[in-house]
Structure 1
Amino acid sequence: MSALELPRFEELMLPVLELIANGRETVKDSLPEIQVRFSLSDEQMEMLLPSGKQTTISNRMHWARNYMKHAGLVEPVAWGRYRITALGKDLLKTNPERIDKVALAQYPLYQTWQSQQIPGAIKESLPIEEGKAETPEERIEAAYVQLDLGLAEELLEQVMSLTAARFEQLIVELLIAMGYGDGRAEMGQAIGKSGDGGIDGVVNEDKLGLDAVYIQAKRYALENTVGRPALQAFVGSMTGESATKGVFVTTSTFSKEAREYVRRVQQRVVLIDGARLARLMIDHGVGVVIEKTYVLRSIDANFFESV
């Protein structure tokens, strides 16, 4: 039995949106009704992706929800749990026969998201549809880019679910993984307590602690931009510690004024927003694991020229 017999991810958008509207917050909650709606057998429901890590139908439902999230039709409320938005409710009131990428393209949030994707052949990537003109190499590249972007989004959502203390510890662990403190866990410490003076952690770059990186770590919703006052307070705390190096990390973004301010201060302060945080975690293997490795081989021209 082929996975092509399963509904494609765009075919699942409307049913998934309706189920979320009816209180089915997770993909798992929606599976029984999806099986009934599309008359899928137990065998079809249990079909796995090549990696063997997830069922194909769950994966397609995930991507359906992901695309609708970027259009503003649904929004996360906790890790893996979603609710319908006012935009989503308005769309359902029109009794649409289908929701697909063409329908989503009318929403400004979706347009913005698409404009941020890698341009060219890999702009539209997963799920990859048959009959497209791209070469196999382009399709592989497209799939990798979309999976990577999706991972970064999910990773940031997971980070948002952490407690403040665990988030601070995470940032210390990330800096250690990046090589600060000679990559040794004992060289970093999360302070995270009342009256910490605006310092949430510190990583010593030498054994005597003569050179250290001070950390401020704040979990903020995306709409809560970090402004100049927060950076001024952090720099003031660094001055009190006679510190010259600092890292301010947030799950949201920094205002233009905040970025301009740190460029003028005497201390060296690095700003890491949510998008960069997720990328650093992926690049340095913090909070992620390698699920599967694919090896692509090509002809060794030098080998044959020497024959």
Structure 2
Amino acid sequence: MDNSLMPKVKLSESVGWSESGGRRWINVFKDYIPHVKIGSSVRYNNESVTVLRMIKKLSESGLTQKEILKVFHDKGIPKTNEDLDSIVKSFYMSTGDIPPQREIMLPFLKIISDGKTYTANHITKELTKFFNLTEEQRTRSYENSKDSIFITRIRQVRYSLKNSNYIDEVSQSTYQITKEGLILLNDDRSEVQDEIEEMEEVVDPFDVIVDKVDEIRKDLAKAIIQKVKQTHWRKLEHIIVELLMAMGYGDGKITGKTNDGGIDGIIKEDKLGLDNIYLQAKRWDNAVGRELVQSFSGALDDMGAKKGVFITTSYFTKHAIEYAERLQSKKIVLINGVTLANLMIDYNIGVTLKEKFIVKKIDFSYFEED
């Protein structure tokens, strides 16, 4: 066996984590930590140590496991200390004035420490007051996401406290502190901090599923775009007409390349064809500029049309988007490759069902007395 390889215990110790603590982090980040399989065993090397140290530094800087996973997924693993510092700086610029998960846990318990039941909405309002957050801070979202940072962290805290039996969900989104929760509030400060650090590492499996589904969808969208680019241009025309029809825009047809003036397809919004949508498709790798959109607009004018959809497998330049937005006499919708792929997924064009998972939750109303 290569002496430079080490087991999981040794990897944990090399970055200053206990065996149990390191094991949890390594399991969560197993897809990002380099490893070697030797029979049924998994071994790690110096590169594994470097990556795990990066993860530990990000954790010590205040990022949760979920936030670190998102950074790795969106931007990749930081290669240098400068990359690491840039991530931390960017993180604090967007979240630095919003309390991290570890700081929310005790206030959450104190708000419900009288033993009464409280709704999630009430607890959120009280936590907002406790941390004196502005409306902007309360609603601020992660980059490229609609999820509120503060609400997401409260949700993670709620799961961790519930998973550790410090709170109980007595009815739908309604919580009550448990005896264990009251004991925790009165524990020695150092013991409380140790417990909070352990709870902070707990990740809601449902959040993991959602993240993985999103990751699978993004990979599928990339594969669809590449596949569409490899097809004959006439296939793309059929795809866009089929897609618009699946979206409920009426009957459609391909116009062909003989004398279409830049029009590749027509969708009839009504049975008599009194109002039509004209389509153009570009199977391109390069950006689609203003000139092409302007040319499509001219083709619509020649047809006396007021509605058009321009679809490309690549993307539109800023000037092309601004031109389409400024049009007054007609409406041209621009659909880039990423949007096209996602619409094809949503409306089952060129995709098939691989597997279907159903996640269930408790129905509290079933257990209520009539």
TM-score (norm 1): 0.58
| SS of 2:293 mapped into structure 1 | helix
Whole-angstrom distance in 2 between the partners of 1:105 and 1:250 = 39
| SS of 1:275 mapped into structure 2 | helix
Partner residue in 2 for 1:246? 308
Give, in angstroms, the shift of residue 117 of structure 1.
Answer: 7.4
Give the alignment of 1:53-64 within 5 angstroms: none
**2:231 aligned with 1:162, yes or no?**
yes
Aligned partner of 1:101 among 54, 71, 77? 77
Whole-angstrom distance in 2 between the partners of 1:239 and 1:219 = 23
Partner residue in 2 for 1:23? none
Partner residue in 2 for 1:292? 355
Distance 1:118 1:244, change over 3 A: closer
Aligned partner of 1:214 among 240, 265, 278? 278
Whole-angstrom distance in 2 between the partners of 1:191 and 1:104 = 54
Give, in angstroms, the shift of residue 132 of structure 1.
Answer: 5.6
Whole-angstrom distance in 2 between the partners of 1:40 and 1:236 = 66
Distance 1:259 1:287, change over 3 A: same
Deviation by residue 1:252-306 (Cα, 9 ceiling, x = unmatched): 1111211121122211111111111111111111111121111111111111113
Give, in angstroms, the shift of residue 188 of structure 1.
Answer: 0.9
| SS of 2:301 mapped into structure 1 | helix
Whole-angstrom distance in 2 between the partners of 1:11 and 1:290 = 31
| SS of 1:213 mapped into structure 2 | strand
Whole-angstrom distance in 2 between the partners of 1:105 and 1:214 = 52
Give, in angstroms, the shift of residue 118 of structure 1.
Answer: 8.1
More helix as a share of residues: 2
Distance 1:117 1:160, change over 3 A: farther
Partner residue in 2 for 1:199? 263
Whole-angstrom distance in 1 between the partners of 2:358 and 2:32 = 30
Amino acid at match of 2:366: F
Give the alignment of 1:92-131 within 5 angstroms: 101-103=77-79, 116=144
Number of aligned residue pairs: give it: 208
**2:245 aligned with 1:176, yes or no?**
yes
Whole-angstrom distance in 1 between the partners of 2:298 and 2:81 = 46
Distance 1:117 1:161, change over 3 A: farther
**2:234 aligned with 1:153, yes or no?**
no
| SS of 1:263 mapped into structure 2 | helix
Distance 1:301 1:288, change over 3 A: same
**2:253 aligned with 1:189, yes or no?**
yes
Distance 1:142 1:234, change over 3 A: same
Give, in angstroms, the shift of residue 205 of structure 1.
Answer: 1.4
Whole-angstrom distance in 2 between the partners of 1:303 and 1:176 = 42
Partner residue in 2 for 1:134? 203
CA RMSD of superposed structures (Å): 3.5
Larger Rg: 2
| SS of 2:244 mapped into structure 1 | helix
Give, in angstroms, the shift of residue 237 of structure 1.
Answer: 0.6
Partner residue in 2 for 1:276? 339
Give, in angstroms, the shift of residue 174 of structure 1.
Answer: 0.3
| SS of 1:215 mapped into structure 2 | strand
